Amino acid sequence: MNLENSDSYPFPLPEDEAVRLAALRSCRVLDMPPQKSLRTLTALASSVFNVPVALLSLIDARRQTMLATHGTDVTEMPRSTSFCTHALLQDDILFIPDASQDHRFSGNPLVTAQPHIRFYAGAPLLGPSGHKIGTFCLIDHLARAELTPRERRMLKDFASISAEIIFESRQVAGL
């Protein structure tokens, strides 16, 4: 794992970063227009998991772009402060019960200032080639306990369903 020095906050890079970025670009989804079905999924996830924020995002070389959000108006952020960039290193869900107590995130400006993130859980979003191109994540301003096995399965299902919607809509559009 390499660390990218960007702005003032370093972030980890997956070993296959160049291939991952090529897979993301080949999907041609980075600047796709908002889809109601994806916004509905983030709202549903927020309700199911009882969290104020749910995001579906893609992660390119320098930014995290939100395809759908619930509980925030943020549509893009630097990758350097993104929790989701860390989820790209995981084959499973990245779970952070209290970011203020986690050495990877305790100094992150999203933890030390607004929005004061404490809880984060993110499932990798897989592209058609199987590469991790983004995440479906849950965020809370309060620390939380571990997800149950059922909740972990549901979060992975939200990521999987999101990918299906994204790539089926691209096929229908002939892209």
Tally of structural domains, the chain: 1
Give the residue, 152 or 170, on which the prediction is more confident. 152
Whether pLDDT at 141 is above 90 = yes
For residue 5, the model assigns a pLDDT of 40
- The alpha-helical segments, DSSP class H, found in the chain are 17-27, 36-49, 84-87, 109-112, 149-172
Place of tokens 């999101």: 162
Q: Kindly report the average pLDDT of the chain as a whole number.
A: 87
Structure tokens of 161?
A: 């369903």
Please report, for the domain that includes residue 87, its CATH number: 3.30.450.40
- Domain span at residue 75? 2-172
Task: Kindly state the average pLDDT of the residues 19-24.
Answer: 86
Hey, what amino acid is at 114?
Q
For residue 29, the model assigns a pLDDT of 76
Output phi, psi for 156, to 5 deg: -60, -40
For residue 8, the model assigns a pLDDT of 52
Of 43, 62, 59, residue with least CA distance to 51: 43
For residue 174, the model assigns a pLDDT of 54
Output phi, psi for 88, to 5 deg: -65, -20
Structure tokens of 153?
A: 């399965």
For residue 98, the model assigns a pLDDT of 98
Q: What radius of gyration do the chain's Cα atoms show?
A: 15
Place of tokens 């889809």: 35
Q: Which residues contact 167 (CB under 8 A, 6 or more apart)?
A: 27, 29, 127, 128
For residue 117, the model assigns a pLDDT of 96
Q: Report the percent of the chain where pLDDT is more than 90.
A: 60
DSSP secondary structure code for residue 114 in this structure = T
24 HSE (CA, 13 A, CB side): 24
3-state secondary structure of 45: helix
Q: How far is 52 from 32, CA to CA, in rounded Å?
A: 25
